[in-house]
């Protein structure tokens, strides 16, 4: 698995609208086996990049996912999806295979923040920057 905190440099992080100084590793300092997670804060959203040893087919077959569809971003086949428990469409995800693992990019809106665009529109735009950086 790759280290998601090492994929994006400060220039790329600023390009996608997040503050490099807000980097968080794991989830509330808790590591989950099989997942490497790094996240940052943007103006109205959080961005996370995850590397997992779970194959992409497991993401696709996960019953928690909804509105799952395939697309091409930056020349790579990806899955775009939301989660069933997200009733307000506050987050969106892009998942794709890399040579080392499965990568997942997630954009989640901050509670009460005005959204400049939909999380799915933003995560697809961010994926255009991230995908070429991964093998």
Query: How many domains in the chain?
Result: 1
pTM, rounded to two decimals: 0.92
Task: Give the chain as a 3 state SS string.
Answer: CCCHHHCCCHHHHHHCCEEEEEEEECECCECCCCEEEEEEEECCEEEEEEEECCCHHHHHHCCCEEEEEEEEECCEEEEEEEECCCCCCCEEEEEEECCCCEEEEEEEECCCCCCCCCHHHHHHHHHHHHHHHCC
pLDDT at 34: 77
Segment-wise mean pLDDT, segments of 10 residues, the chain, 135 residues: 92 95 82 86 96 92 91 97 93 95 96 94 97 91
Q: Which domain holds residue 25?
A: 4-133
List the CATH number of the domain containing 36.
Answer: 2.60.120
pLDDT at 92: 98
């Amino acid at each position: 698995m790759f280290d998601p905190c090492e994929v994006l440099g400060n220039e790329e992080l600023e390009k996608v609208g997040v503050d490099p100084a807000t980097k968080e590793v794991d989830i509330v300092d808790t590591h989950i086996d099989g997942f490497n997670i790094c996240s940052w804060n943007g103006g109205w959203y959080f961005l996370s990049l995850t590397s997992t040893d779970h194959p992409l087919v497991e993401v696709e077959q996960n019953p928690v996912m909804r509105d799952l569809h395939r697309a091409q971003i930056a020349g790579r086949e990806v899955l775009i999806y939301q989660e069933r428990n997200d009733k307000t469409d506050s987050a969106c995800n892009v998942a794709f295979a890399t040579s080392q693992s499965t990568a997942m990019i997630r954009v989640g809106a901050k509670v009460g923040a005005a959204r400049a665009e939909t999380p799915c529109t933003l995560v697809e735009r961010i994926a255009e920057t991230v995908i070429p950086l991964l093998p």
